[in-house]
Every structure is written in C-alpha cells, then in structure tokens.
Structure 1
Amino acid sequence: KTLTARGNLADSYRQAGRTAEAITIEEPLVADMERLLGAEHPNTLGAWGILAASYWQAGRTEEAIAIEERVVADRKRLQGAEHPDTLAARGNLAASYRQAGRTEEAINLLERVVADRERLLDGEHPDTLTARAVLSRWQSPDNGSDQPSR
C-alpha cells in the first residue's frame, strides 16, 4: 500500500506539472519496487513506464526512450506482444521517438500499434480510436503533437 501511495503522489505531482517533484519520488520508488517485487513484476514495469513518462514530460527524452525500449522488450517477453500493457508501452515509445525527432520510426511504430489494436480489440474500442486519431494527426501536414497513451 505504501508503494501505491507513493506512486499516486508522484502521479499527482506529474499531472499538476510538478514533474521534478514527481521524479524525486519515482526514482527511489522504482528501486524499491525492484527490490521488493522483482525487476520483472508487472507493477515494477509499470513504475518504470511512469518514470519514463515523467522524464518525457521533463524533456529528458533520451532517458525516456532508453527506459521505454527496455519496458517494451520486457513486457513483450513476459506478457506477450498482444497484451494491452505491451501495446500501451509501444505507443508511449512511439511518442518519445516523435519527441526526439525520430518521426518516421514513431509513425511506423504507431501504425503497428493501431493495426494490433484493431485486430485485438476492434476498430471502435476507445484505445483503438485514440491511437488511430493520434496517428492521423502525426501523419497530417501540420504534424499534431498528441501522444498515444501516457
């Protein structure tokens, strides 16, 4: 419960734009979760993803990408390529690629996420609709800046 409360506090800080404060909670939280739950526990992977989101929000994109690439690989290995958490992690990685100026990689990755969501969930599922809308904006000439699922 303490780990969850710390994570919720950090999330509240991040959502309020107090990213630096969120990170000061999230970094030791991830270490504690690895120690207590193990590096491969789904909650630990989730905590890493949240830390990456805070890094992304703070403009620490390369650090976010490094974490997200590892989270995607771990989730795929542990939960499978079609697990909803794996799909969300891939969408978050796509957003970081885009923020880093790796637009073609971002679009290619998000296209695969959309295709997988359409196949696994259906075309009208809210996650599918969100990912498809973001992809459409990314592909438009004005290059919208939306992110898929943070």
Structure 2
Amino acid sequence: MMFQLFLGSALIITTIIVSVVLIGVAIELLTWFASKLSRGSHTTESFLALGATTTWFVFVVTVNVWLWAFAYLWLGVFESLEEALYFSLVCFTTLGFGDIVLSEDWRLLSGFTATAGFILFGLGTAFLFEIMSRYFREGQARRKHRK
C-alpha cells in the first residue's frame, strides 16, 4: 500500500510538472503567434488562439495518459499497451467504465490516475479561461481605441 501511495504521488507530481512545462511552451508559442498576427482581425486571432490552445491541451492530456500507461506497463499491471492506454484514459477522464479493473495489489493507483486527470482538467480549464479573458480584454481595448 505504501508503495502505491508513494508511486501515485510521484506520478501526480510528474503529471503536474509535465503539464506546467507544456503549458509554458504553449504560452511562448501563443505570444510568438500573437506578435505575427497582431495586424489582422482580432476575431480571427481570438479563434486561432482558442483553437491552438484547445488543440495543445488535448496534446497535454495525451502525453500524460501515455505517461500513466507506460507506468502501468512498467509495473506489469497490464500485458498490452492498448489495455494500459485504455485504462489510463478511462481513469484520467474520470469516466471509469469498470470493464477493466486493477487487482487488489494496484487498485489504489487507479484513484491516483483519476486525481491526476482531475487536476489536469482543472489546470487546462483555467488556462483556456485565461487565454480567452486576455483576448476579450484586448478586443475591448482595441474597440475603445478606435472610438
């Protein structure tokens, strides 16, 4: 049990670190993108930013699901990559079908997987909200400047 607690905590911390680094990369890319598009339509720029941010977030989730799947494979919990990916994705999204369950030796780890997913979806929602708020504020400032 203690090993599961330690490993689950370590994987959650790893998930957070990977996610924060990838979100930092997204911020740099969006800043660079905005500097290249600043002469265009604000609406187009906002749509592109939302699309790029959402796509990037799906990438972040995918990377983390693979991270957990590889952890399950490394531990020998699953025999196939497909099964490990499926279980990780179902737990990560907190969907929890229940068609694949872990043995008693590893079942605590599934709760950690769901917790990591919950944390990441909260982080992603906050990031999307901040990006859209920024573009909304910039749009308001542009409209005031034109008047």
When the two structures are superposed, what TM-score results if normalisation uses the length of structure 2? 0.29
Max Rg structure: 2
- Larger RCO: 1 or 2 (CA < 8 Å, sep 6+): 2
TM-score of the pair, normalised by structure 1: 0.28
Greater fraction helix: 2
